[in-house]
């Protein structure tokens, strides 16, 4: 075996180096600047420590802070370890468990020592100070490989029962690595890590909160303290993130939902929304808009049952793949006696639908379909139920009962590219109308567990690529990306990820190419050759669900909806009671023109009225007094930061009507 290996660098050049050379060695041989900047290496695509020996020919790329995604992942992972070390240093007897990085930071689950209760947010400042001391100490982070028994013995000797349990249960043959922070603290971890704690910016993190968490997520296990933090590469990034969090808190749809009297949720109906009159105005306006868009695009609306026999869900495949997320109910009259079970063991089972697709196939199967009937686009504002865990529910964003803007397109294979391209154009128009959203397009590819042949998946995935290419959106300008393993069990899917006003992303729209369900439910059409053929079924949604999308809109607009969606579009307010009659006339004129209007005739100062209706996010206030009543004018004021101007009533009505016209109906 040669003592030399070949390392191929990103520029295509090759270096002959000694076996066991590290990424740090290569960086130093290139120059002192790179040696200082390098923080990790990629060896044949795998991210590894800079000090990891390379034992065979490989592709090598050195990672620096400019490789932001990798740098953030490493920094957040290291912040988590520094957090655990700091907690154990401050509170001897604390046991450590797991500490992963997250999308914007990190957390670590720890078991407080018996001498104290759970950690609280009052402990965070002291922990932060201890973390900064560890970072400033610039402790080397060094990897070692241990035998299983040696590691179990070490953890047991230190009283680390959780770590000992985890080490004992890792798969046989798995390499067990640990990382030392200096020479006095160690954690079990796969890595990789930065070369030392000093590579972290001590001003680039903040501990944010503490919550309870069960060991390994099982409520039968011990309760731990989970300490959360956010971590970045520098203070500028941290400050920008904290500003986003502050802005997000102001925009929280749950807070604004209460203030604007839009909806509420309560435990009598976990995960189901109680829409108040004002909130349901938004819902209905959005629904009417989308119906017009669908009608214009050639969709035909249907309505399907809320409950179907479990055998139907078995045939579709959902019973086996999705049953834990379904609500099941017995098909029998419950026992009315006080004693005995409510449901007998002989009950047949039915289920509330978690999705609409099997019912749409049953509609397609009614009557003989010809190739001339395709594409057939069936749409449904379908109410669905999914048995989400209580702890996962979150306002309008994660619910149990929701209404999808669902549709299924039954088409021939030669129509797929055209139909997907048309859907992309429709979705683009809707997103522009609803907020000028930017969005990225992702193709989620076949998962490990799936229905259908590899040939079917090859064809389905390529059809989606071809359709996006036909629209000119398969490029970086549209955030085009392929996501291996993230497709549905029956089909690949295009995902559309919105970016809102403060930079958050939301995956809402989707379209999926499915040949499995038509086969399982025996859907067919008569082709031009006179034989029966299976249609391709395109599952698609633009909003995803009305509940979640309205939550996104509330936060995107911070409650200041465009006039056409606003629950109350104008408030007519009086300065003096002498103008009450004129205010009623103004309101009647606006209502007749189709404006959603309220009056405020209270004997209060106008500044108070402005402030209160601003909190309610009414777009416009029309202020009237004696002079306006005499001249037939109004003082028109935008409550979202605009100036007040005196205009004739007719002009004010025309302006409001124009702004209240939905975008698809504007000339």
Q: Catalytic positions, please? A: 357, 386, 404, 406, 408, 493, 539
Name the strands in the sheet holding 328-330, side by side, starting at the edge strand that comes first in the sequence: 307-309, 349-352, 328-330
141-170 as b/e: b if 16+ CB within 10 A: bbbeebeeeebbebbeeeebebbbebbeee
Q: What is the C-alpha to C-alpha distance for residues 524 and 367, in angstroms, rounded to an integer?
A: 10
Q: What is the C-alpha to C-alpha distance for residues 461 and 494, in angstroms, rounded to an integer?
A: 9
Q: What is the C-alpha to C-alpha distance for residues 82 and 170, in angstroms, rounded to an integer?
A: 24
Q: Which of 44, 41, 46 is nearest to 67 (CA)?
A: 41
Pairing of the two strands 505-514 and 536-541 = antiparallel
Altogether, the residues listed in the chain come to a count of 667
Pairing of the two strands 53-54 and 376-385 = unpaired
Q: What is the C-alpha to C-alpha distance for residues 663 and 292, in angstroms, rounded to an integer?
A: 11
The residues near 268 (Cβ < 8 Å, ≥ 6 apart) are: none
Q: What sign does the CA torsion over 157, 162, 167, 169 have? A: positive
Both structure tokens of 436: 């000028």
314-337 as b/e: b if 16+ CB within 10 A: eebbbbebbeeebeeeeeeeeeee
Q: Which of 105, 73, 55 is nearest to 207 (CA)?
A: 105
Name the strands in the sheet holding 14-18, side by side, starting at the edge strand that comes first in the sequence: 14-18, 4-8, 58-63, 40-43, 46-48
Other CB atoms closer than 10 Å to residue 61's CB: what's the count? 17
Both structure tokens of 1: 């075996």
CA 491 to chain centre: 21
Determine whether 339 is exposed, middle or buried from the number of CB atoms within 10 Å of its CB (0-12, 13-18, 19+). Answer: exposed
Both structure tokens of 514: 């499915």
Ordered DSSP codes for 217-286: G-TTS-EEEEEEEEE-SSHHHHHHHHHHHHHHHHH-HHHHHHHTT-EE--GGGTT--EE-HHHHHHHHHH
Residue with tokens 């067990």: 176
First-last CA distance in the chain: 77
SS (H, E, C) 522-549: CCCEECCCCCEECCEEEEEECCCCHHHH
């Amino acid at each position: 075996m040669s003592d030399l290996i070949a390392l191929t660098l990103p520029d295509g050049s090759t270096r002959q180096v000694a076996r066991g050379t590290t990424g740090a060695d290569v960086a130093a041989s290139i120059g002192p600047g790179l040696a200082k900047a390098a923080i990790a290496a990629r060896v044949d695509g795998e991210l590894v420590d800079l000090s990891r020996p390379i034992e065979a020919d490989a592709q090598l790329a050195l990672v620096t802070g400019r490789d932001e995604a990798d740098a953030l992942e490493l920094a957040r992972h290291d912040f988590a370890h520094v957090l655990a070390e700091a907690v154990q240093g401050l509170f001897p007897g604390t046991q450590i468990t797991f500490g992963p990085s997250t999308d914007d930071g990190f957390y670590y689950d720890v078991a407080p020592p018996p001498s104290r209760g759970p950690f609280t947010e009052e402990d965070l400042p002291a922990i932060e100070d201890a973390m900064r001391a560890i970072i400033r100490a610039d402790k080397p982070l060094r990897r070692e490989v241990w035998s299983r028994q040696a590691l179990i013995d070490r953890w047991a000797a230190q009283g680390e029962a959780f770590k000992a349990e985890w080490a004992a249960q890792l798969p046989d043959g798995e390499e067990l690595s640990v990382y030392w922070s200096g020479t006095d603290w160690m954690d079990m971890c796969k890595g990789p890590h930065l070369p030392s704690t000093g590579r972290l910016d001590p001003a680039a993190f903040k501990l944010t909160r503490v919550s309870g968490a069960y060991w390994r997520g099982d409520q039968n296990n011990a309760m731990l303290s989970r300490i959360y933090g956010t971590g970045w590469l520098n203070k500028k990034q941290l400050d920008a993130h904290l500003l986003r969090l502050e802005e997000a808190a102001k925009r929280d749809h749950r807070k604004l939902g209460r203030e604007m009297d839009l909806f509420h949720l309560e435990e009598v109906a976990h995960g189901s929304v109680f829409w108040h009159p004002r909130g349901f105005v938004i819902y209905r306006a959005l629904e009417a808009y989308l119906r017009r868009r669908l009608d214009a695009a050639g969709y035909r609306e249907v309505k399907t049952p809320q409950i179907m026999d479990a055998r139907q869900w078995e045939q579709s495949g959902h019973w086996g793949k999705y049953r834990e997320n379904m609500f099941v109910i017995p098909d029998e009259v419950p026992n009315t006696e006080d004693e005995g079970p409510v449901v007998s063991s002989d009950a047949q089972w039915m289920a509330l639908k978690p999705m609409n697709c099997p019912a749409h196939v049953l509609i397609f199967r009614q009557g003989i379909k010809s190739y001339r009937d395709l594409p057939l686009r069936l749409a449904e504002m379908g109410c669905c139920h999914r048995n989400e865990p209580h702890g996962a529910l979150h306002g309008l964003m994660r619910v149990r009962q929701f209404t999808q803007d669902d549709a299924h397109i039954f088409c021939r294979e030669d129509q797929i590219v055209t139909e997907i391209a048309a859907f992309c154009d429709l979705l683009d128009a809707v997103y522009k109308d609803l907020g000028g959203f930017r969005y990225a397009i992702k193709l989620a590819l076949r998962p490990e567990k799936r229905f259908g042949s590899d040939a079917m998946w090859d064809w389905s995935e390529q059809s989606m690529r071809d359709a996006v290419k036909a629209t000119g959106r398969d490029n970086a300008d549209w955030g085009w990306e392929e996501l291996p393993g993230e497709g549905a069990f029956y089909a690949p899917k295009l995902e559309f990820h919105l970016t809102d006003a403060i930079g958050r992303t939301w995956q809402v729209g989707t379209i999926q190419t499915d040949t499995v369900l038509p086969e399982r439910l025996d859907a067919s059409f008569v082709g031009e050759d006179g034989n029966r053929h299976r249609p391709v079924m395109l599952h698609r949604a633009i909003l995803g669900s009305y509940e979640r999308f309205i939550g996104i809109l509330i936060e995107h607009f911070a409650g200041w909806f465009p006039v056409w969606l606003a629950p109350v579009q104008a408030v007519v307010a009086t300065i003096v009671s002498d103008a009450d009659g004129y205010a009623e006339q103004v309101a009647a004129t606006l209502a007749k023109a189709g404006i959603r209007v309220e009056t405020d005739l209270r004997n209060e100062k106008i500044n108070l009225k402005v402030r209160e209706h601003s909190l309610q996010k009414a777009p416009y206030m029309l202020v009237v007094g004696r002079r306006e009543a005499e001249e037939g004018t109004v003082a028109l004021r935008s409550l979202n930061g605009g100036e007040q101007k005196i205009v004739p009533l007719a002009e004010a009505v025309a302006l409001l009507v124009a702004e209240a016209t939905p975008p698809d109906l504007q000339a």
